[in-house]
Amino acid sequence: MTRRPSRPREPVCVDDRPRKGDPFFFMYQTVFKRIGVRLPFTPFERELLTEIYTAPTQLHPNSWAFVRAFQILCGYLGILPSVDVFLHFFKVKK
């Protein structure tokens, strides 16, 4: 696949390649390579995305870094990550 800059008024999220019905979504590569988020998402990540009514691609990589850091901290402390506790410390801006 050749990459080219998008044209004016062309959506950057369009993928016109033929697919066999496989679902997909666009995501910052940094989220997987540097921050350490993996697929499938953890139960905490799925619950958080559901609670804040957001698609994975709508979170900026910095936001993913906070989510990942919270999970790592909870693992270090030996507790399960909780969406309620996470949202107590981090405010979601829409």
Domain boundaries, the chain: 29-89
| Cα 34 to Cα 37: distance, rounded to the nearest angstrom | 8
- Indicate the pLDDT class of residue 70, thresholds 50, 70 and 90: very high
Check residue 27 and give left, alpha or beta (phi > 0: left; psi -120 to 50: alpha): beta
pLDDT given for residue 12 in this prediction: 58
Least confident of 22-36, 43-57, 73-87: 22-36
Model pTM above 0.85: no
Q: Is the pLDDT of residue 71 over 90?
A: yes
Q: What is the mean pLDDT of residues 43-67?
A: 91
